[in-house]
Structure 1
Amino acid sequence: MQRWRIRTCVSAALATAGLLLSGCANPGVGSAEDDATAPVTLKFWHGWSAPGEVKAINDSIARFEKLHPNIHVTSTGNVTDATINQALRAGGDGAPDVITSFTTNNVGQYCDSGMWADLDPFLRKTGVDKTKVFPKSLLQYTSFDGKQCALPLLADAFGMYYNKDAFEKAGISRPPRTMSEFVRDAKKLTVRSGKDSYKRVGFMPNFRLYQNSPDRLFGQWGPTYFDSKGNSVLAKQQSTYDFFRVTGQLADAQGGYGALERFRTSFGDEMSAQNAFLTGKLAMHLDGEWRGLMLNEAKAGFDWGVAPLPVPDDQADTYGRGYLTGTVTGIAHSSTHQNAAWELVRFLTTDTRQVVSFANAIHNVPSTYAALKSPDLDADPTFKAFIDIAQNKYSQSMPQSTNGGMYITSLQDFAYSAEAGRAHDLRKGLRTLDEQIDADTLQSKS
């Protein structure tokens, strides 16, 4: 399974499996007293599985071992968050020393449980100023409640892919920049093949499509999820209502939720040659930077481009922003080789040449200021569009929570009902959603 396919569902999977860690974990006691210059073998667990990705990881390890000949790294790939958490709970010789996760939503859980070691002491003693190395938004999704238990290991930025041929045929000169333009262009780009079917839709707003988790498009409004006391405030901000209004307008402009949902169910698998954007069924599509590489490999039969997603009309000056997430890495609290493990984490996350090489190899966004500006970074203009989104000061990542992002799952469930017209009183529904999120947070702390 490709990494980007599991990012939105892991929190729910962990909850179902009884693996939520906050408030009840007893992590094995590790040690930061080891000599990082002594011979040692580190166990590194990660989730990459595709041949090209695994090769990129192995090449990274080879570069590290050349710089640190005393440290040998054994790498285990295709490991899920649930498997890592089980191993960390058990501790012992079988547990990993260095771990990665594709699920930034779970970082609050990792930090709060103590399963992932606090990296701030290691940063300080090796003279790494994290605020000068990593963009602020990436530091936000790798820390929780003052604890930096993870660091960014490449990032993902979300933007809009668009079919240039379809735009030209519809007489549209450029991608939409505001939500009103978005609705207008989506309607122009929609082509029906009959009364109840489509040849192509301008933009599929339905939240069950591929990467269309509601929090990603909602990020264009720059929402606030929690107040200073940690209480959910979705019902108290106008942007939430504007978001659902615009997604409703997008659906209505193209025939309504029901017709679009029937069309969506005809789409092929996201990562297959039957992807709806690749097959021309979508003229505009929300997706991450990896899609460009896949479109090139598949030799898409049309000219395509990338642009930032539109922003609200009253926030036109924020155009260029996008939703950010990414891979994170850290040190297992149970590791007895934490100083040596830190050398590996520091190399993977802060060495500019390494970060650029890895980013180019797997076509993800670099996660340090220096790497983002490196002349060695892939100069492909469509990839650069995501680099610009990642560096935009208005781009936003999700705030961390102690229960592994359960609030995002709750928002998803509510959004499914809202788009289908089952939330008849939106304000009342959002107040109930806030109450549910607060109750879940309180329960996780008990």
Structure 2
Amino acid sequence: MPRWRIRSSVPAALAAAGLLLAGCANPSTGSDDDDPTKPVTLKFWHGWSAPGEVKAINESIERFEKLHPNIDVKATGNVTDATINQALRAGGGEAPDVVVSFTTNNVGQYCDSGMWVDLDPFMKKTGLDKKKTFPKTLLDYTSYQGTQCALPLLADAFGMYYNKDAFAEAGIARPPHTMSELKAAAKKLTVRSGEDSYERVGYMPSFRLYQGSPDRLFAQWGPKYFDADGKSRLAKEPASYDYFKATSDLTDAQGGFTDLEKFRLTFGDEMSSQNAFLTQKLAMLLDGEWRGLMLKDAKAKFDWGVAPLPVPDDQADTYGRGFITGTVAGIAHSSKHQNAAWELVRFLTADTDQVVDFANAIHNVPSTFAALKSPKLDADPRFRTFFKILENKHSQALPPTTNGNSYVVSFADYAYSVEAGHAKDLRKGLKKLDDQIDADNLQAEN
């Protein structure tokens, strides 16, 4: 399920020790000299908080402990990146050994700072071939400038949910494959209930809607955010202009920003029974693989399907691609038990049966080649659509930087002004955005 909703949870002992102050200097360094066959207790921090998710990760730990009876894993859930980062800067006995993050955008910081150890030496000595184990897109977002400081622990892929009943009613034979088809379908599926209101909107292009942040749909163009020197190049990227034109055309085709925004404000919470797709206020929705399980649990009153998101008309041959992100696991630089910690990380990320069981339990996309092919996986073809999106060679994740997701936030802020009609000169605005991103990245590096 989406990870942004998780709240912070701080272990009492750590807080009491005053170790969460940002900027603590000289953190303790760990060791990879430990014997992983000796009795040891590992501290494992993760962000899962929903009861079903916590149950699934606890069952995973139980399976690991049966295989490694000498290793006792003490898990702490509902922990944010901010808490993990502060603890690792401080080091000490209360810091975790194994950490899990839901924010792939921070991998650049983890690797560059050394807060998470390089996993390549551990893979080499235990015979794990990462290129044969994990899809390339997942390896890209778990490494930075040659340092593999994390490994993927399930993935999230984004596609298009669509109301089959509404499609049949509108005489639309299949989900749209291109942006022009999306525009035509969205217009045909939109039903007005008054001069400035709606009964249903075909596709809501709002960047503020649920999982619709600008970077998700932008991935369908395959944009290049940075040049070879790490400088932001959004103003030089032709896809930037095509993307904003496509979303603007979608908005205009369905009544304009003002009316659509007014309708969006009537939607219920994304995770509630009043989700706008579930209540049929939307005929199509950009969302991740977890939505399918939620629609089943809610017993949706209409027939629904899943397809890849449409692509630009001049890139029709890339149809099937999508935006990819996911959960990542690593070892804290301060851990004194790094070999034992590696055994846990290796089990969680690379053991085929474990990955399959965990993927089925929390309805996330498996993150290894072997798990994706396992006959034990949930056979629902709608769920498996996301497997194909993950494996598509054109699918894209956000590039990591040492400044985390700062550039993504800046891009989103600019996109909000574009969709509201406040940014008239795209070239000038994107150049200013590039300058801001470069300045923020330079400040973070210094």
Report the TM-score range of the alignment, normalised by the length of the smaller protein.
over 0.9
What is the CA-CA distance between 1:3 and the residue it aligns to?
4.4
Which digits, 9 at most, give the CA deviation of each residue in 1:227-270, with x for residues without a partner? 11111111112111000000000000000011111111111100
* Cα contact 1:19–1:85 (8 A) shared by 2: no
Equivalent AA in structure 1 for residue 4 of structure 2: R
> For 2:295 and 2:43, how far apart are their aligned partners in 1?
35
Counterpart of 1:5 in structure 2 is: 4
* Cα contact 1:20–1:109 (8 A) shared by 2: no
Counterpart of 2:103 in structure 1 is: 103
Counterpart of 1:14 in structure 2 is: none
> For 1:160 and 1:248, how far apart are their aligned partners in 2?
19
Counterpart of 1:114 in structure 2 is: 114
What is the CA-CA distance between 1:145 and the residue it aligns to?
1.4
Counterpart of 2:264 in structure 1 is: 264
Change (3 A) 1:138 1:145: same
Change (3 A) 1:315 1:26: farther
Counterpart of 2:397 in structure 1 is: 397
436-445 vs 286-295, greater mean Cα deviation: 436-445
* Cα contact 1:37–1:70 (8 A) shared by 2: yes
Counterpart of 1:80 in structure 2 is: 80
User: Where has structure 1 moved over 3 Å in runs of 4 or more?
Assistant: 18-21, 24-27
Counterpart of 2:366 in structure 1 is: 366
Counterpart of 2:43 in structure 1 is: 43
2:89 aligned with 1:89: yes
> For 1:419 and 1:20, how far apart are their aligned partners in 2?
36
What is the CA-CA distance between 1:111 and the residue it aligns to?
1.0
Which digits, 9 at most, give the CA deviation of each residue in 1:375-413, with x for residues without a partner? 111110110100110111110001000011211011000
Aligned pairs, how many? 434
Counterpart of 1:424 in structure 2 is: 424
5+ unaligned residues in a row in structure 2: which ranges? 7-19
* Cα contact 2:27–2:92 (8 A) shared by 1: no
163-172 vs 84-93, greater mean Cα deviation: 84-93
1:238-257 alignment runs, 5 A limit: 238-257=238-257
* Cα contact 1:27–1:333 (8 A) shared by 2: no
Change (3 A) 1:25 1:234: farther
5+ unaligned residues in a row in structure 1: which ranges? 8-17
> For 1:365 and 1:159, how far apart are their aligned partners in 2?
12
What is the CA-CA distance between 1:85 and the residue it aligns to?
1.3
1:127-166 alignment runs, 5 A limit: 127-166=127-166
Which digits, 9 at most, give the CA deviation of each residue in 1:38-66, with x for residues without a partner? 00000111111111111110110111011
Equivalent AA in structure 1 for residue 278 of structure 2: L
Counterpart of 2:308 in structure 1 is: 308
Which digits, 9 at most, give the CA deviation of each residue in 1:328-355, with x for residues without a partner? 0000000000000000000000000100
Equivalent AA in structure 2 for residue 93 of structure 1: G
2:172 aligned with 1:180: no
Change (3 A) 1:191 1:273: same
> For 2:339 and 2:129, how far apart are their aligned partners in 1?
18
Counterpart of 2:10 in structure 1 is: none
> For 2:391 and 2:143, how far apart are their aligned partners in 1?
19
Which digits, 9 at most, give the CA deviation of each residue in 1:397-442, with x for residues without a partner? 0100001121101100000000011111011000111111111111
Equivalent AA in structure 1 for residue 53 of structure 2: E
Counterpart of 2:204 in structure 1 is: 204
Counterpart of 1:439 in structure 2 is: 439
Which digits, 9 at most, give the CA deviation of each residue in 1:271-305, with x for residues without a partner? 00010100001000000000000000000010000
What is the CA-CA distance between 1:86 and the residue it aligns to?
1.6
Which digits, 9 at most, give the CA deviation of each residue in 1:14-72, with x for residues without a partner? xxxx9998xx9744201111110000000111111111111110110111011101001
Change (3 A) 1:206 1:5: same
* Cα contact 2:289–2:386 (8 A) shared by 1: yes
What is the CA-CA distance between 1:80 and the residue it aligns to?
1.1
Counterpart of 1:11 in structure 2 is: none
Equivalent AA in structure 2 for residue 5 of structure 1: W
Equivalent AA in structure 2 for residue 274 of structure 1: Q
2:69 aligned with 1:69: yes
> For 1:167 and 1:360, how far apart are their aligned partners in 2?
29
What is the CA-CA distance between 1:82 and the residue it aligns to?
1.1
Equivalent AA in structure 2 for residue 107 of structure 1: V
* Cα contact 2:220–2:311 (8 A) shared by 1: yes
Q: What is the TM-score of this pair, normalised by structure 2?
A: 0.95
Counterpart secondary structure, 2:175: coil
> For 1:319 and 1:390, how far apart are their aligned partners in 2?
13
Equivalent AA in structure 2 for residue 426 of structure 1: L
> For 2:303 and 2:97, how far apart are their aligned partners in 1?
45
Equivalent AA in structure 2 for residue 51 of structure 1: P
> For 1:346 and 1:330, how far apart are their aligned partners in 2?
10
RMSD of Structure 2 on Structure 1 (CA): 1.5
* Cα contact 2:159–2:322 (8 A) shared by 1: yes
1:369-384 alignment runs, 5 A limit: 369-384=369-384
Change (3 A) 1:129 1:92: same
1:192-231 alignment runs, 5 A limit: 192-231=192-231
Counterpart secondary structure, 1:5: coil
> For 2:4 and 2:192, how far apart are their aligned partners in 1?
30
Counterpart secondary structure, 1:433: helix
Counterpart secondary structure, 1:194: coil
> For 2:132 and 2:26, how far apart are their aligned partners in 1?
34
What is the CA-CA distance between 1:5 and the residue it aligns to?
3.2
* Cα contact 2:389–2:395 (8 A) shared by 1: yes
Which digits, 9 at most, give the CA deviation of each residue in 1:137-174, with x for residues without a partner? 00000011111111000000000000001101111010
Percent identity of the aligned residues? 74
> For 1:107 and 1:202, how far apart are their aligned partners in 2?
36
